[in-house]
A and B are shown apart, each in its own frame.
Chain A
Amino acid sequence: MSLLDVKDLTKNFGGLTAVSGVTMHLEDNELVALIGPNGAGKTTLFNLLTGVIPPSEGTVSLQTDQGLQVLNKKKPYQVAQAGLARTFQNIRLFKDLSVLDNVLIAMTAKHKESFVSSILRLPSYYKKEVEMREEAIELLKIFDMQDKLDNLARNLPYGEQRRLEIVRALATKPKILFLDEPAAGMNPEETADLTRLIRQIQNEFHITVLLIEHDMSLVMNVAERIYVLEYGQLIAEGTPAEIQKNERVIKAYLGGES
């Protein structure tokens, strides 16, 4: 039984089929990449998996401590609470809030605070706040951002905004982390740094990572397994070495006659 099982996932927008009959699985603590040419439907697939848009057909089910959970009829926040967290291709931070608040918000669902104790500022409120704050700082430390707690997210440099998105996703304590082009717009040095970080968080937090990325050096470097999407359909699956040799993949990327 896989951690995440996706069966025949399909999405039609009007007459257009953006994702068609995708069947895939993610295992515990593995690092998988999803690649494909522009417009292949990668982000749509992410949106389907994380509940942002409902699928037309198919199922997504997650293995949890409470047994198998079907996610494809759930709202995005329920999917997130079940253990699927994501970042966005076009960064979507809470721009006018501080770095710390960005991370604390992601912890909302996992940390209950009673209305009465926060209104009356009971000792339990302060205790909880300190606890959450420390946890958030721990996470920010991994990404070397612990000195920027009070900066507004909008004032961070681009690379740090991307990293903050990852921290924020991790703060929801996910089982699976979906990264949508985390290295977009980064220079080779930053990309190398990010590659190391992705490996580190996968091991440290014992989570599964699914990654959309165009940077092939990053993909071939970190991915244990690769799915290739073209025109909304999966055309290949395998290890980096297998994918590099796959005829259909080469054709999809390079074009060429059939």
Chain B
Amino acid sequence: MHTILQQLVNGLSLGSIYALLALGYTMVYGIIKLINFAHGDIYMLGAFWGYYVINVWHLSFWPALITAMVFCAFVGMLTEYLAYRPLRHSPRIAALITAIGVSFLLENGMSYLFGSNVRNFPQAMAVKQYHLGGVSISNIQILILAVSIVLMILLQLIVQRTKMGKAMRAVSVDPDAAQLIGINIDRTISFTFALGSSLAGAAGVMIGLYYNSIDPLMGMTPGIKAFVAAVLGGIGLIPGAAIGGFVIGLLETITQALGFSAYKDAVVYAVLIIILLVKPAGILGKNIKEKV
């Protein structure tokens, strides 16, 4: 029973990182139907930003987190402006390849500029372990969970309550109609990238603190996992991304706890395939039939 609870705690903190990343994927996909392959690398940039501001400027965790979010929002908007905007009316697969190119560029650019070695993330916060009835939980795990949940609630408020959020929803349903009623599409898409990327930046700083090590290729695998999470939950749907992230985090830790860590990823993909076969549009997705 204790081990199950323990795995639940570990799974939830890992899952919330996936969920934060998945939200970025799902928002961008919802609005321009692009699998933003470079999203995982934005998360890597967030981690590096945190690393530098804590080490060089000696900032503490909170300013590092917030500046990383701002920095990543800016990078996200920049990549959209330079690489994706020119391709907005091109075949979707061309935009996908461009996104892959951006991902390669960020990974290799960082390796070229800063070296590809793994480095230790500074301990911006002393680790404390709490024991609750045999289940141990660290202050960092609590922090990750709390920050993620707060960010998700904030995001939901922005999307549901603000004018920009309404514009985002309108563009994702029908860009042409949105333009006709006076919504600035370019600005809305920029804003979407900024939102998604800032969440990735936050996730990057937090994972640095949690795992203690960062490197230029660290975004690849979590990026793909987060995309899987977004698809699992129903891509384009914000609550779906959150659910998908938690499901994958839990699945991974549970398989590991059962002693099948070698098959961890295989289990995740197998579950994904089975869910898609039963619900082709993901857990929360509605299957829309084409009208004849």
Residue of A at shortest CB range from B291?
Answer: A90
Q: Is B258 an interface residue (CB 8 A)?
A: no
Binary per-residue interface labels of chain B (216-236) against chain A in the complex, 1 for a CB within 8 Å, 0 otherwise:
000000000000000000000
Residues of B within 8 A of A47 (CB): 292
Give the interface size class of chain A: under 10
User: In the docked arrangement, what's the CA distance between A52 and B292, Å?
Assistant: 8
Q: Is A231 an interface residue (CB 8 A)?
A: no
Q: Is A43 an interface residue (CB 8 A)?
A: yes
Residues of B within 8 A of A53 (CB): 292
User: In the docked arrangement, what's the CA distance between A47 and B292, Å?
Assistant: 8
Residues of A within 8 A of B292 (CB): 43, 47, 52-53, 88
What's the minimum C-beta distance from B200 to chain A, rounded to whole angstroms?
37
What's the minimum C-beta distance from B101 to chain A, rounded to whole angstroms?
26
What's the minimum C-beta distance from A34 to chain B, rounded to whole angstroms?
16
Residues of B within 8 A of A88 (CB): 292
User: In the docked arrangement, what's the CA distance between A88 and B290, Å?
Assistant: 13
Binary per-residue interface labels of chain A (167-189) against chain B in the complex, 1 for a CB within 8 Å, 0 otherwise:
00000000000000000000000
What's the minimum C-beta distance from B292 to chain A, rounded to whole angstroms?
5
What's the minimum C-beta distance from A254 to chain B, rounded to whole angstroms?
29
User: In the docked arrangement, what's the CA distance between A53 and B289, Å?
Assistant: 10
What's the minimum C-beta distance from A80 to chain B, rounded to whole angstroms?
14
What's the minimum C-beta distance from B244 to chain A, rounded to whole angstroms?
27
User: In the docked arrangement, what's the CA distance between A53 and B291, Å?
Assistant: 10
Binary per-residue interface labels of chain B (269-292) against chain A in the complex, 1 for a CB within 8 Å, 0 otherwise:
000000000000000000000001
Binary per-residue interface labels of chain A (28-68) against chain B in the complex, 1 for a CB within 8 Å, 0 otherwise:
00000000000000010001000011000000000000000
Residues of B within 8 A of A52 (CB): 292
Within 8 A of A (CB), among B158-186: none
User: In the docked arrangement, what's the CA distance between A47 and B289, Å?
Assistant: 13
Within 8 A of A (CB), among B239-292: 292
User: In the docked arrangement, what's the CA distance between A43 and B292, Å?
Assistant: 8
Within 8 A of B (CB), among A81-105: 88
User: In the docked arrangement, what's the CA distance between A31 and B105, Å?
Assistant: 64
Binary per-residue interface labels of chain B (102-142) against chain A in the complex, 1 for a CB within 8 Å, 0 otherwise:
00000000000000000000000000000000000000000
Residue of B at shortest CB range from A92?
Answer: B292
Binary per-residue interface labels of chain A (154-172) against chain B in the complex, 1 for a CB within 8 Å, 0 otherwise:
0000000000000000000
Residue of B at shortest CB range from A89?
Answer: B292
What's the minimum C-beta distance from A156 to chain B, rounded to whole angstroms?
21
User: In the docked arrangement, what's the CA distance between A45 and B40, Å?
Assistant: 48
What's the minimum C-beta distance from B261 to chain A, rounded to whole angstroms?
44
Residue of B at shortest CB range from A50?
Answer: B292
User: In the docked arrangement, what's the CA distance between A47 and B291, Å?
Assistant: 10
User: In the docked arrangement, what's the CA distance between A88 and B292, Å?
Assistant: 8
Residue of A at shortest CB range from B289?
Answer: A53
User: In the docked arrangement, what's the CA distance between A145 and B292, Å?
Assistant: 26
User: In the docked arrangement, what's the CA distance between A47 and B290, Å?
Assistant: 12
List 5 A-B pairs, Cβ < 8 Å: A43-B292, A47-B292, A52-B292, A53-B292, A88-B292
> Which 5 pairs across A and B sit closest by C-beta, in order of nearness?
A52-B292, A47-B292, A88-B292, A43-B292, A53-B292
Residue ranges of B at the interface with A (Cβ–Cβ < 8 Å): 292
